[in-house]
Amino acid sequence: MTARTSYIASQALRYSISLFIIVTLIFLIPRMMPGDPFISLLGEEVYYRSPELVAELKAQFGLDRPLPEQYISYLQNLVQGNFGYSFHYSQPVWDVIAYKMKWTVVLLIPSVILGAILGIVMGAAAGWLRGSGMDTGITSLFLFLYSMPHYWLAMLFVLVFAFYLGLFPLSGITGGGLEGLEKLRDVLWHMTLPVSVLTLFGAAYNYFIMRGSVIQVSGEGFVLTARAKGLREWEVLFRHVLRNAMLPLVTVIALDFGFMVSGALLVEIVFSWGGMGTLVYDAVLARDYPLLHGSFLVIAICVLAANFMADVMYAVLDPRIRGGEIE
Amino acid sequence: MSEFASRLLSKFEFPWIELKRLSLPVLIGLLLLALFLNLAVFAPLIAPYDPWEPGKPFLPPVAAHPFGTNDIGQDIFSELVYGTRISLFVGFFAAFVSVVIGTLVGLFSGYLRGAADEALMGATDIVLIIPSLPLMIILAAHTSPSIWNIIVVIGALWWTSTARVVRSRVLQLREMPFVESARGLGAGDVYIVFCHILPNTLQVILAKFILAVAGAMLTEASLSFLGLGDPLQKSWGMMLNYAFSRGGFINGYWWWYLPPGICISLAVLSFVLIGFGLEELDRRELNASKL
């Protein structure tokens, strides 16, 4: 086995353990809480309907059986794609999530890509011209962005760009009643503000890592060599500094994905964007626990998958792993 | 016991930093922090009203109410001043919990190495990869809403970066001659870890603590915004939640939701500036000691 495959295998093992722990946590948390775990498992709405229904559901979901047995049937259900039933939506949890998730993905993908590009370009420029007026200016701006609650910046954007300037809609995904290209244009118009907010946060996050990475690489011996042999500044930057500084960013952008998902959840709520964020918000308000657990599981699986893909990519890209030896 | 305790205390020289070595960003951070600490301590003197006292609702900013009033007529400026206490309290305590956990994990994993190290770092990697906000939402949704639960939930999930930094520092320290001489003199592992290694990691722990306060304040604001905050403790995040869910946002009453957001951003910024400054200082000292 080469170093690369063993590296990927060890990462796969690590992610499998993480997934197993997440699944087990979702099983244990509601059962460890004080009070009747039944409330935590089926949601508050059902509990107060009727005692007969409660008893019937308990038997149906096997909640009257011992814990190990429950755990096994819980795992079996998950493998079959059965995430439970949302009484708030009167639908299986998976059906609700599958519909909402695509709208979150629609917001996330452009934000992650644009945020990465903006952060990398600005970070590289600021790191290369470290200490210049531009570096100080952009760094201060991104520091301030970094310190803001995501959803509050979203509220600010709505106030300025939608409420006062009227350039963009206040909320929602689409005005409705449109088809084809018209609908696409309308959705794009509606997503401009939320995507801008998320892009700025993604950029702020990548900016500091890229800037630090460029500063660190600039101090290395090979940069001095490159200068000494008479290369122009831009040649040093593009051929030697950036190629080395970009590498850690592959993993960072993936880790960033988890951070962006959390941001998207909150920003969606402000824009009443009907994705996972508004779903989680409604589930919290209605204390619809099966829906909350299902949402968490799906989000966690997406984040783990993104990180695993990044690790594989890293192993392919980094010659130090590719060539056989790690480091 | 008392001898052990006094010896332990004598080893701790707190990293007091000379003022003239501070950079401008750190000074700005310290000034902002001083401002908010004053607001928190002297809240009863600064706030013109009791933040819970109802009055005329939905007033825009007027002379008597500089930031207007909310949906039940409580003075927003007074809410803001008292909110400083809650937000800083949650930030400090959650950061304290996270730094204690992170430091212990990092110390033992770096000092013991081997299987213990692998187990502890494996656990750290796993916690790092679980999306923390969604997990915190679930934990907070299952527990009764109180600031103590929020503190524990944030602290229990925010310790990973402290653990990693402390571990890498301990790995360097444990090979140093003074640790070896202590071991040669017959000192036990626990004594070496707490009396020789811990005091030398304090500066980096302090930087992590301050950054953790910033992270904890932002997380508290997010959880409160989602309606998982403590309804009896009006933090800045709870104010934003009320402004959002009770019509302040829909109606464009900016004086209701801009001030708490500005306060959160500035307070977090002050901790970020100080924390980054301390980390930078530490890096420079480390480089200097290498030469």
Q: Quick check: B235 contacting A, CB < 8 Å?
A: no
Say if CB B267 and CB B210 are below 8 A apart.
no
Mutant choice from B23, B87, B125, B133 vs A, greatest count of A C-beta within 10 A? B133
Q: How far is residue B166's CA from residue B202's CA, in Å, rounded to a whole number?
A: 9
Place of tokens 């590719």: A322
Q: What ipTM goes with this model?
A: 0.86
pLDDT higher for B80 or A35? B80
**pTM flag (> 0.80):** yes
- CA pair distance B161, B82, nearest whole angstrom: 31
CB A62, CB A73: distance < 8 Å: yes
Query: Which CATH topology does B22-290 take?
Result: MetI-like fold (1.10.3720)
Give the containing element (helix H, strand E) for A216: helix A180-218
pLDDT in tens, A158-216: 889 988 887 888 777 777 777 778 888 888 888 889 999 999 999 998 898 889 888 88
Chain A partners within 8 Å of B261 (Cβ): 148-149, 152, 155-156
| Contact status of B176 with chain A (Cβ, < 8 Å) | no
C-alpha–C-alpha distance, residues A229 and B270, integer Å: 44
- The confidence score (pLDDT) of residue B32 equals 94
- Provide, as residue numbers in chain A, all residues whose Cβ is less than 8 Å from the Cβ of B138: 26, 29, 292-293, 296
Q: Is A189 left (phi over 0), alpha (psi -120 to 50) or beta?
A: alpha
Tokens at B207, concatenated: 């930087």
CB < 8 Å to B135, chain A: 25, 296, 300
Per-residue pLDDT of chain A (327 residues; tens, 9 = 90+): 577 788 888 888 888 998 999 999 988 888 887 666 677 666 676 667 677 777 777 777 777 788 888 888 888 888 888 888 887 888 888 889 988 999 999 999 999 999 989 999 999 999 988 888 888 999 999 999 989 998 999 999 988 998 888 788 877 777 777 777 888 888 888 888 999 999 999 999 889 888 988 888 888 888 888 888 888 888 888 888 888 887 777 777 777 777 888 889 999 999 988 889 999 998 888 888 889 999 999 999 988 988 888 888 877 777 665 544 443
Residue B186 φ/ψ region, left for φ over 0, alpha for ψ in the -120 to 50 degree band, beta for the rest: left
For the domain covering A94-318, report its CATH number.
1.10.3720.10
Contact B241, B56 (CB under 8 A): no
Q: Mean pLDDT lowest for which of A37-51, A175-189, B108-122, B217-231? A: A37-51
Residue A240 near residue A127 (C-beta atoms within 8 A) = no
CB distance A314 to A250 below 8 Å:
yes
Three-class HEC string of A26-94: HHHHHHHCCCCHHHHHHCHHHHCCCHHHHHHHHHHCCCCCCHHHHHHHHHHHHHCCCCCEECCCCEEHH
pLDDT band at B107 (very low <50, low <70, confident <90, very high): very high
Q: What is the pLDDT of residue A327?
A: 39
**In chain B, what are the domain boundaries?**
22-290
The packing angle between helices A180-218 and A93-128, to 10°, is 40
User: Where are chain A's structural domains?
Assistant: 94-318
